[in-house]
Amino acid sequence: MDKNPETLDLSIFVHVTDPGAKVRELGQTYLEAMKTLQVRGEVLFILDGVGGRILEECEALEACNKGIRVLVLQGKGNGESIAYAAARDHSQGRFVVTSPDYLQIDPSAIGSFLELLESQADFVCSWRHPRIDPLLNRLQSRFFNWFLRRLSKNGLHDLNCTFRGMRREVLEEIPIYGDQFRFLPILAERQGFRVTEVSVRHLEERGKTGFFGIGVYLRRLLDILAVTFLTRFTSKPIRFFGSLGLVLILVGLFLGVPPVYEKVFHGSSIQDRPIFLMGVVLVTFGLQLIGFGLVGEVIIFTRARNLRDYKVQRVLSSGTPNAPPSELESGEGEREVALVTLQPSAKGQEGPKPLIIRHAAPGEDLVLDRFVREHPQGTLFHTSAWRRMVEDVLEKPGEVLVAEKDRKILGILPFFEVKSPFLGKVAVSMPFGVYGGVLTEDEEAARGLVARAADLSNSHRNRYLELRHREALGLEGVVSDRYVTFRRELPEDPEDCLGMIPRKARAEIRKARDNGNFRFVERKDLRLFHALFAANKQELGSPSIPFSMLTALERNLGPKMVMHCVDRPDGQTIATVLSFIHGDCLMPYYSGALSTREGRGANNYMYWRLMEWASAKGFKIFDFGRSRKDSGPAKFKKNMGFQPEPLHYEYFLGEKGKLPGFHPDNPKLGIYQRIWRRLPGFIVRPLGGWIFKRLP
């Protein structure tokens, strides 16, 4: 972004009306989001009718974090329009993001907002898709947006969502009042601003469930009519007044003309004809009264730019870069000091703090990802990206427990509950991942996290809780030694990778290299990969991952997922590998090859070239991943120079739980594996994906 010393890049307005709002989590999450995006910005809390604990937390947050500011409005229920108008006058960002007082939308969407605002848009709306609130609310919202699209002629799908991004000029040039902030995108489009919409991840919804009362619907209808008038008829109001008035006049004439005709031509009396009076009233309304309310809207709309119907009681600022002058005008022309310096509360420094085990707040992903990134045992499977992929595949949210002491995160434990026809109802720390168990270096935090997870698992009557630890934690679970992992450091010089490989495998690699039969290429073709991978898994008698999981991996991991292929000179791909990146570690995770001898021989060549590629890219660790002890893949990895390291999977059994027996080592499954190898592909592919999702 263009760094202008006179202003900040971004201001995030948080309208706080809920006395139970978690402002500390909100502030830290948004600050972390701006840090990740490398954006100079501020978070401005607008306290609208709340105080007490909320104000104390805001004061402590402001005192300890640069970039946090607090605006306290007098009175209660000022509404979003007034709150954001006040924030506009006390903020510094070139771009503005408005947010409710809870993490409704994944904060990573801010990056998409800023990209669009920098390039092609003046106003960016959020489209919560898919929605997670109750069905009745979704139906009401869908009808409301459909109805408004038809009236206002715009293509926006979610005007109810107030998590929006915009250029500062939008708030400066468009007067808003009452409940019109909801319709700001329509007003902005009318003023000539470029308005667009992006799909965002919906995290939480705190709206009322069910019907809201007839008064709410009537007010919403009146707002829609007012905004429709303001956006379509202010430049030519005669079209609105004339159309509505003409309808009333025609109805009035239809009712009033027949009695007049009978009076004139037949001498009938009209004194006892109330229908005539009704017609006169309608004609009168059509000529005089219908426009009074809308004329008032026109007056307010044209004069609202000069209105200032709020009064700022206090402004708290921690001296962010380029802070505004020390004195600002309040809403009624009064002068007050705007910069207030607060000291951290002494209460927070008294005595040791207890360990707190809590659920992660919606939208806290950026903070937790930073903890994972900085932890020496953190893995890709602990990150929110992998968890979101699992949520997409399983179509259900996961749990993340957080151990915290004195507002410092000490550890996390993610886990999912899965209903499987093969395993029963179980809980797994991170499905489809080889690691992802408790992440902490504090023994008290580890025991607290496991105890809470086990309690939750038992209360939900799961057969067991499986925690996939890479390191031994010495907890009280049943430890399984079925799996081992293979990891080693990479040399700094890519040419030294060949020397790491034992003599026999090295000779095969040199032969393949010298013959020139193979080409190692980087390519992203998920269809090709899935075909080879599924064919390999069927030969082994195992189900393959569904293609939808590959697309979910690509969507959530992005550049952290890479694919390489080994091609013959004629262009045919005979082997392929899908690798994941976490920090300085490269993990080849899924692979597939042709069943021919040539295809099998390409594996040594492929992994050698992949190690060279990783070394050249600066990766320090090559993680060959998990295998069952003494299995064929484990022997292959040993032949490539990797030594097995035991994995310490722990199981916490429920009342009727026992260690899972559904695995390839179980001799009872041999007949099913033989049958699976003989099934036709059109059955194996869809059925295999269905089975795979139920074997986490």
**What pLDDT, on the 0 to 100 scale, is given for residue 590?**
94
pLDDT above 50 (res 471): yes
Dist. CA 468–CA 416, nearest whole Å? 12
Dist. CA 472–CA 650, nearest whole Å? 9
Return the axis-axis angle of helices 547-557 and 384-394, rounded to nearest 10°: 150
pLDDT above 70 (res 290): no
425-443: pLDDT as tens digits: 999 999 999 999 999 989 9
Taking every pair of Cα atoms in the chain, the longest distance, rounded to a whole number of angstroms, is 122
Of residues 62 and 344, more confidence is placed in 62
pLDDT above 50 (res 336): no
CB atoms near residue 619 (< 10 Å): 21
**What pLDDT, on the 0 to 100 scale, is given for residue 76?**
76
Do residues 459 and 496 touch, judged by C-beta distance below 8 A?
no
pLDDT above 70 (res 234): no
Q: What angle do CA 613, 614, 615 make, to 5 degrees?
A: 95
Dist. CA 8–CA 42, nearest whole Å? 8
Residue 363 binned pLDDT confidence (cut-offs 50, 70, 90): low
**What pLDDT, on the 0 to 100 scale, is given for residue 309?**
46
- Beta-sheet strands, E only, within 429-572: 439-440, 464-469, 478-480, 483-489, 519-522, 561-567
**What pLDDT, on the 0 to 100 scale, is given for residue 367?**
85
**What architecture is the 357-481 domain classified under in CATH?**
3-Layer(aba) Sandwich (3.40)
**What pLDDT, on the 0 to 100 scale, is given for residue 315?**
59
Residue 217 binned pLDDT confidence (cut-offs 50, 70, 90): low
**Average pLDDT value over all residues in the chain:** 81
**What pLDDT, on the 0 to 100 scale, is given for residue 208?**
55
Q: What's the average model confidence in pLDDT over 83-101?
A: 90
Extract long-range pairs of 322-326: CB within 8 Å, 24+ residues apart: 322/5, 322/6, 322/7, 322/8, 322/92, 323/92, 324/90, 324/92
**What pLDDT, on the 0 to 100 scale, is given for residue 599?**
59
**What pLDDT, on the 0 to 100 scale, is given for residue 80?**
86
Complete edge-to-edge strand list for the sheet that includes strand 483-489: 519-522, 561-567, 573-582, 585-593, 621-628, 483-489, 644-646
Record the tokens describing residue 465, joined without a space: 């809780």
Record the tokens describing residue 622, joined without a space: 């090559």
**What pLDDT, on the 0 to 100 scale, is given for residue 30?**
92
**What pLDDT, on the 0 to 100 scale, is given for residue 630?**
85
**What pLDDT, on the 0 to 100 scale, is given for residue 42?**
93
| DSSP labels, 81-117 | HHHHHHHHHT--EEEEEEE-SS--B-TTHHHHHHHHH
**What pLDDT, on the 0 to 100 scale, is given for residue 2?**
43
Residue 535 binned pLDDT confidence (cut-offs 50, 70, 90): confident
> In this structure, are strands 93-99 and 164-167 parallel, antiparallel, or unpaired?
antiparallel
**Closest listed residue to residue 180, CA positions, set 301, 86, 267:** 301
Dist. CA 236–CA 541, nearest whole Å? 73
For the chain, the C-alpha Rg in angstroms (whole number) is: 32
pLDDT above 50 (res 102): yes
pLDDT above 50 (res 327): no
Q: SS3 letters for 356-370?
A: EEEECCCCCHHHHHH
Do residues 29 and 102 touch, judged by C-beta distance below 8 A?
no
Dihedral pair phi/psi, residue 480, rounded to 5°: -110, 140
Q: Which of 213-217, 352-356, 559-563, 691-695 has the highest mean pLDDT?
A: 559-563
Do residues 412 and 383 touch, judged by C-beta distance below 8 A?
no
pLDDT above 80 (res 341): no
Least confident range from 64-68, 136-140, 408-412: namely 136-140
**What pLDDT, on the 0 to 100 scale, is given for residue 597?**
64
103-125: pLDDT as tens digits: 888 888 898 899 889 887 899 99
162-195: pLDDT as tens digits: 899 999 988 888 877 766 777 888 888 877 788 9
Q: What percent of the chain has pLDDT over 70?
A: 81
Residue 3 binned pLDDT confidence (cut-offs 50, 70, 90): very low
Residue 321 binned pLDDT confidence (cut-offs 50, 70, 90): very low
The reply to whether 484-645+661-692 shares the fold of 357-481 is yes
Q: What's the average model confidence in pLDDT over 210-233?
A: 61
Dist. CA 191–CA 170, nearest whole Å? 9
**What pLDDT, on the 0 to 100 scale, is given for residue 346?**
42
Domain boundaries, the chain: 8-135+153-207+310-337, 237-304, 357-481, 484-645+661-692
Record the tokens describing residue 644, joined without a space: 């097995």
Q: What angle do CA 136, 142, 144 make, to 5 degrees?
A: 105
- 484-645+661-692 maps to CATH 3.40.630.30: yes
**What pLDDT, on the 0 to 100 scale, is given for residue 263?**
72
CB neighbour list of residue 56: distance below 8 Å, 6 or more residues apart: 345
CATH topology of domain 8-135+153-207+310-337: Spore Coat Polysaccharide Biosynthesis Protein SpsA; Chain A (3.90.550)
